[in-house]
Amino acid sequence: MTTSDAVRDLVLDQDGVRLAVDGETATVTLTNPAKRNAQSPALWRALVQAGRSLPGSVRVVVLRAEGKSFSAGLDRQAFTPEGFDGEPSFLDLARGSDEALDAAIAEYQDAFTWWRRRDLITIAAVQGHAIGAGFQLALACDLRVVARDVQFAMRETSLGLVPDLTGTHPLVSLVGYARALEICATGRFVHAEEAERTGLANLVVDRDELDAAVSDLTAALLTAPRDAVIETKALLQGAADRAPGEQYVAERAAQARRLRDLAGIGD
């Protein structure tokens, strides 16, 4: 545990995931650097538990990882006949019913969806490899601050699979359909300069400046009133699915709520 973690309240520490809370900020840390923070169903369940364990006071969640790599993706043990202790292997799941397989994948996806909650802003601090499930976990967050050594890659297609951990929607939203298809179909690496240029990264910094840059961004995000940030995030999240006129209506309704709240006559 780092010195900065020590001053926080430790809420969860299991299966390669640690959650610590410090006032309005929570930090979720991947804690298995020996395996480059490879992911497993147990880790996904721990991530779900981290989301459920957040106190209501938290406004910003930082996702970080120990070691040289953010996450090298899915632990390949999942594809062996024995799988993980106490878990069905992916091969066993494939032999089961359609309903059971769909339910299993949906459960895995839960680890990647809560990061988009409207009452939170989530930041991924990404260094080194962020491959496959690691890439998708970074994409699950609202914002990404990356080190110059970052290497994003979506390798699922190369393995005969598809990205199924909720990463396709944010990837297309950020870089567009054509580039997203090319990144996924080739499995190539996306480095820091391209990530910043295409919108995958909000900020690129030297590796030893990553924590400080995230801290500065967190502080800036906490300056505005919480309800205004929640309303703004909701407007931006819905903008792509609304016609312009519908977005104008949503803006007016949100602003009316804010004005009434500021006037002391809100609900």
- Mind listing the pLDDT tens digit for each residue in 74-120? 998 888 888 888 888 888 899 999 999 999 999 999 999 999 999 99
Backbone angles phi and psi of 91, in degrees to 5:
-65, -40
DSSP state of 191: E
How many Å apart are CA 103 and CA 138, to the nearest integer? 23
The 10s digit of each residue's pLDDT in 175-224 is 999 999 999 999 999 999 999 999 999 999 999 999 999 999 999 999 99
- pLDDT over 60 (residue 7): no
| C-alpha separations of 86 from 32, 43, 111, 135, 140 in Å | 19, 14, 19, 26, 27
For the residues of 69-119, what is the DSSP string, one character each?
-SB--B-GGGGSTT-STTS--HHHHHHS-HHHHHHHHHHHHHHHHGGG-TT
Instruction: Please give the average per-residue pLDDT across 39-68, as a whole number.
Output: 98
- pLDDT over 50 (residue 1): no
Which residue is associated with the tokens 């040289």?
A: 68
